[in-house]
Amino acid sequence: MAVKIRLARRGRKKQALYDVVVADARAPRDGRYIEKIGRYNPNTDPATIELNEEKAFQWVMNGAQPTDTVRAMLSYRGIMLKKHLQIGVNKGAITQEEADKKFEAWLKDKESKIESKKDKLAQEAAASAKARKEAETKVKEARAEALKKKNAAEEEAVAQADAEATESAEATEEAQGETPAEGEENKGE
């Protein structure tokens, strides 16, 4: 029986989540499996990989063949390096202490890289949010300025219309005021 370490899909449409399972190679993708050893979420940045590293290492050492994607995940988590070092220990090329030191050094380096990537992503997100806020502020100020100009123009137009209306009313009053006076003068003559 050929044993594979592979992904089993779950989650909804376009929001895939995967279980990392150990299964018979003849079993369907989402079908029966021997053991579930972790989860994988590619929707986050960086992708979330949760593995039971002891079980994964045990299965790899016992001959389970990972698929290409799972092999990349195991390499990312250091399990393939640990296998390589353990085979060297079994052959007598290095001691267990040397292998452990190499693995710990690699693990510290890898974790620092992951943390720096997370920090970089957080800084980029903060910078883009700040830039968006500044752009929104500029648009808001531009709208306020345009509204201010429009209101000033409308007030000016209203003031001019009032002035014209006042002038025409005065002219009308003068015209009406002169007409009766002239009529009275004509009556008296």
The tens-digit pLDDT sequence of the chain (189 residues) is 689 999 999 989 999 999 999 999 999 888 899 999 999 999 988 889 999 999 999 999 999 999 999 999 999 999 999 999 999 999 988 899 999 999 999 999 999 998 998 899 999 999 999 999 999 999 999 998 888 888 888 888 888 888 888 888 777 777 776 655 555 555 555
**Selection from 49, 31, 30 nearest residue 40 by Cα:** 49
CA 113 to CA 91: how far, in whole Å?
Answer: 32
According to DSSP, residue 64 is labeled: P
Nearest to 80 by CA among 98, 93, 97, 64: 64
In a domain, 113, yes or no: no
pLDDT of residue 1: 66
Instruction: Round the CA-based radius of gyration of the chain to a whole number and report it.
Output: 41
- Are 55 and 40 within 8 A, CB to CB? no
Q: Is residue 187 a part of any domain in this protein?
A: no
Please give the model's pTM, rounded to 2 decimal places: 0.64
pLDDT of residue 150: 87
Asked if residue 103 is part of any domain, the answer here is no
Scanning 62-95, the segments in alpha helix (DSSP H) are 68-77, 79-91
Domain-embedded: residue 184: no
Give how many domains the chain has, as a whole number.
Answer: 1
Q: Is 30 helix (H, G, I), strand (E, B) or coil?
A: coil
- The CATH number of residue 78's host domain is 3.30.1320.10
17 part of a folded domain: yes
